[in-house]
Amino acid sequence: MSIPLVEPTALDEGTLRVIPIGGLGEIGRNMTMFEYDGKILIVDCGVLFPEEHQPGVDLILPDFEPIRDRLDDIVGVVLTHGHEDHIGAVPYLLRLKSDIPLIGSGLTLALVEAKLKEHRIKAFTLTVREGQEERVGPFDLEFVAVNHSIPDALAVAIRTPAGMVLATGDFKMDQLPLDGRITDLRAFARLGEEGVDLFLVDSTNADVPGFTPTERSIGPVLDQVIAKAPRRVIVASFSSHVHRVQQVIDAAHANGRRVAFLGRSMVRNMTIAEQLGYLKVPDGVLIDFKKARDLPDEQIVYMSTGSQGEPMAVLSRMANMDHAIEISEGDTVILASSLIPGNENAVYRVIDGLTKLGANVVHKANAKVHVSGHAAAGELIYCYNILKPKNVLPVHGEYRHLIANAKLAQDTGVPEENTIIASNGTVIDLKDGVAKVTGQLDLGFVYVDGSTVGEITDADLKDRRILGEEGFISVIVVVDAGTGRIISGPEIHARGVAEDDSVFDDVTPKIVAALKDASGNGVRDTHALSQVVRRTIGRWVNQRLRRRPMIVPLVIEA
């Protein structure tokens, strides 16, 4: 969905401006900017993980352009929970200004602080919990407990004289959560009675009918799979999914097995969760990875990262036989996570690789080893009926999710004109219960590639795709500066185009003839001559080999 670029008008006095910077039309990069009375509040600051058509990219950040020149106006960043798609970009924001206050629950801030430590950034933090109210600049904030696939998740109500906004973050309504902490529907009802002027609501499962199953339904399945496993068990999950790790630990302990964590982020996050009391580990269950290799196969469970097929994560390296743990016949691998859209091919490649090595691979498609952390359509309808919001802005999802969510809101009585299907960069102004689109900013992707941030462009990625899919040809020719006569060459080298460079013998005379014609017409500029070479060999390769490789011609004067 494309909204024409329109520069927003100046913000009227007494109006709240809302700009989703990321998280709309995608699963990740969640970040929303709120502006009132010259001050800015940010909710979430996450990353998006690259897909196959973005080779070499490590992470994708929100585009900070709307706030880059207004860092001093930012009064705080509220972090709803500790998943990477909501906190992963915080270090890159704090590189711009390190003293921006971070506001969140205990576990969320602990995970962020560990991440910031790796970037050598010391943050200013404010720890909050459900039921707490805080005044941050012109914003009155109230925090509400919500249930998600990580403990300590919070929704936030943002009150200004322009109206009240409720942002759910990621949430579901599990009525039997492992930690006993349910989404606080009583607080939702109270906020509904007060009047929610704009509801920013998680859309990830809006197109899934019914209700998301409870986390407790997973425990018996994990226990059964581990009990029947004849040899080693490897469970892959998100490195922050404390509830799932808890269930694996409980199932391993019940079956006389010990647990070793694999992957730097898994070790770091679970250490933090255990220290803060969110992860309960029986004495003697955890064992260091190096010592675990000395145990009999039937006595160990490895808890690893890599459930999304990430190339450098533990599970992918196992599938590629590039890890200290070598998968063999009789091993059991459990993928205890959902597929993030865009990762399907990578995940199925890992499953195929593990299966080929002899593993029994258990995943969501053949066993109930995972439930989503997001509210399905039935739960969202409950929320709409409880809150009765005046305006709805579906967030956190691809466009089909946003549209499905808007339809649910309309089914419960929210007028169609009050449900806003927005894009990243859409400017929405709220005043006196009326929310309207007043502009559209041009926001793009910011790529993290190794140590560089924002230097890689879409054009660079296109070049990488061409190199990977079509190959590379270089042509070197030395010409006389005065006459344009060829002194040396053409010398053709190729990679990934043909088995042998001798295949280009047929095109060499064509390049010589084309350069002779050009010099005969008075062309002496080396750039113009390079373009002659590019066109000549490009046409030939396309016609003869049916390829469109990257061609780098170099014409040198002598």
Predicted pLDDT of residue 116: 93
CATH number of the CATH domain containing 510 = 3.10.20.580
Q: Is residue 7 situated within a structural domain?
A: no
Predicted pLDDT of residue 514: 80
Backbone angles phi, psi at 262, to 5 degrees: -125, 135
341/419 same-domain check: no
Predicted pLDDT of residue 422: 95
How far apart are alpha carbons 171 and 387 in whole angstroms?
15
Backbone angles phi, psi at 22, to 5 degrees: -160, 165
How far apart are alpha carbons 521 and 511 in whole angstroms?
15
The set of residues, in sequence order, having a beta carbon less than 8 Å from that of 380 and lying 6+ positions away, is 201, 206, 405, 408
329/378 same-domain check: no
pLDDT above 80 for 33: yes
Any bridge partners for residue 150, and if so which? Answer: none
Mean pLDDT value of segment 154-177: 95
The secondary structure of residue 167, as a DSSP letter, is: E
Domain that holds residue 345: 215-362
Average pLDDT value over all residues in the chain: 87
* Among the listed residues 227, 235, 222, 231, the one whose alpha carbon sits nearest the alpha carbon of residue 318: 235
CATH number of the CATH domain containing 154 = 3.60.15.10
Amino acid at 540: W
pTM of the model: 0.82
How far apart are alpha carbons 269 and 457 in whole angstroms?
32
How would you classify residue 170: left for phi > 0, otherwise alpha for psi between -120 and 50, otherwise beta?
beta
- 214-237 confidence digits (pLDDT tens): 988 888 989 999 999 999 999 988
3-state secondary structure of 464: helix
What is the tally of structural domains in the chain?
A: 3
Structural contact between residues 394 and 23, judged by C-beta atoms closer than 8 angstroms: no
- 285-309 confidence digits (pLDDT tens): 999 988 988 899 899 999 987 656 5
Lowest average pLDDT, out of 104-118, 124-138, 221-235, 496-510, goes to 496-510
The set of residues, in sequence order, having a beta carbon less than 8 Å from that of 485 and lying 6+ positions away, is 479, 519
3-state secondary structure of 488: strand
480/513 same-domain check: yes
The set of residues, in sequence order, having a beta carbon less than 8 Å from that of 550 and lying 6+ positions away, is 463, 466, 467, 470, 471, 472, 473
Predicted pLDDT of residue 3: 67
378/356 same-domain check: no
DSSP H or E run through 350? helix 344-356
353/228 same-domain check: yes
Q: Is residue 453 situated within a structural domain?
A: no
DSSP H or E run through 94? helix 90-96
Tokens found for residue 176: 């039997």
199/219 same-domain check: no
Tokens found for residue 109: 């801030």
pLDDT above 60 for 311: no
